[in-house]
Amino acid sequence: MPDCVQRSRVRWTDMEIAFYRGNFRDDSLNGVNRGWIVGSFIQDGPRRTEDVEIKYWKYPPGPTAHGRKVSRIIEVTFLLRGKTLAEIGEKRLVLEAGDYVVIRPDTPNNTVLDILEDAAGLTIKAPSDISAKRVMP
């Protein structure tokens, strides 16, 4: 099998490597970045970028400890499986598998306030700025 299609868990220190092939479930759920698989906070290699942040997440049914937040960057969340109760701005809504929500900067939100059915999703933020988010009281 050619090198470009083999899965590898090597440390990417050679900046000439043009791509990374991984498993988003493994990298997010077993990684050190709390689910984030692409962004400026990734140690090194092709997944490190200032342009975008990508997170894969999953939750069992019930309330989460995930707090309401506000961010200075755009956020898009895709619900891949399940059902969640979300709070965006002053509105509460139920998100179901196949739904996505685009959240403008400076809009208070929590897309996983309560998990109504076993849920998994992707959250994408742009640009990647670790200091852009503020958890609300």
Query: Tokens for 45?
Result: 């290699």
Element (H, E) at 80: strand 74-88
pLDDT of residue 15: 53
Instruction: List residues bridging with 102 in a β-sheet.
Output: 76
What b-and-e string marks burial along 9-46, b requiring 16 or more CB atoms within 10 Å of the CB?
A: eeebeeeeeeebeeeeeebbeeeebebbbbbeebeebe
Distances (CA, A) of 118 to 13, 77, 105, 110, 115: 37, 16, 28, 17, 7
Instruction: Please state whether the peptide bond connecting residue 137 to the residue before it is cis, i.e. omega within 30 degrees of 0.
Output: no
Can you give the pTM of this predicted structure? 0.82
pLDDT of residue 44: 79
pLDDT in tens, 69-119: 999 999 999 999 999 999 999 999 999 999 999 999 999 999 999 999 999
Give the Cα separation of 1 and 107 in Å (integer). 47
Residue 75 contacts residue 55 (beta carbons within 8 Å): no
Domains in the chain, please, with CATH? 22-135 (2.60.120.10)
